[in-house]
């Protein structure tokens, strides 16, 4: 499925605007929180140019990497193999239930109202991990209202989940160019059944 609409166009325009949008290094939160987990099936949501997916694959994970931007995925696929690169709008596709040992959502603009959060939580296998990182809401402008934050997700988890980490912490990596973010919010939860 080829994504369409304003969201897809925004991300396509961003990736087409320069040769490389992000650093090419995996997100520090991902490395810190996943390094000790046993590898399995991983879903990298909003994978962009693929740095997190490549890091996961290099550490033994079988990775499905999803992004709405065809340009980003073409760049990602050109620098690696063995990763399933999927171009689609997450809101428009089914995600297999209880299929992934890790669902990683790193700085993905996840809206509270679109039902995607429930879909992503349902995709985590028993014993699996849901990892979410975002910019600390205290450093975000008002137009980011309505996007999920770690506390929102923690409240949405049912009895079959254990919250391992839910905190705000200083960024491990420098903020992207043009931004002034100094802190991240991080949620790591494990599905117990």
Is the Cβ–Cβ distance between 128 and 191 less than 8 Å?
A: yes
Q: What is the DSSP letter of 107?
A: S
pLDDT of residue 4: 42
User: Is 50 exceeded by the pLDDT of residue 39?
Assistant: yes
Spatial contact of 133 and 155, defined as CB atoms under 8 Å apart:
no
Q: Residue range 138-149: average pLDDT?
A: 67
How far apart are alpha carbons 31 and 27 in whole angstroms? 7
pLDDT band at 23 (very low <50, low <70, confident <90, very high): low
Domains defined for the chain, CATH in brackets? 6-18+28-191 (3.40.50.150)
pLDDT at 36 over 90: yes
Instruction: Report d(CA 188, CA 106) in Å as an integer.
Output: 11
Between CA 184 and CA 181 the distance in angstroms is 8
- 38-42, 80-84, 154-158, 183-187: segment of lowest average pLDDT: 80-84
């Amino acid at each position: 499925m080829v994504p369409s609409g304003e969201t897809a166009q925004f991300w396509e325009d961003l990736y087409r605007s320069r040769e490389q949008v992000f650093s090419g290094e995996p997100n520090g939160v991902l490395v810190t929180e996943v390094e000790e987990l046993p590898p399995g099936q991983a879903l990298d949501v909003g994978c962009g140019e693929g740095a997190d997916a490549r890091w996961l694959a290099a550490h033994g994970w079988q990775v499905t990497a999803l992004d709405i931007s065809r340009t980003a995925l073409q760049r990602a696929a050109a620098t690696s193999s063995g990763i399933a690169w999927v171009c689609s709008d997450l809101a428009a596709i089914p995600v297999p239930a209880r299929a992934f040992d890790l669902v990683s959502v790193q700085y993905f603009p996840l809206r509270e109202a679109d039902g995607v959060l429930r879909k992503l939580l349902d995709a985590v296998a028993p014993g699996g991990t849901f990892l979410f990182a975002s910019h600390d809401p205290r450093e975000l402008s008002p137009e980011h209202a309505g996007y999920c934050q770690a506390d929102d997700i923690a409240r949405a988890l049912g009895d079959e989940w254990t919250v391992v980490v839910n905190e705000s912490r200083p960024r491990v990596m420098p903020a992207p160019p043009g931004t002034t973010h100094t802190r991240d919010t991080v949620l790591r939860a494990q599905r117990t059944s």
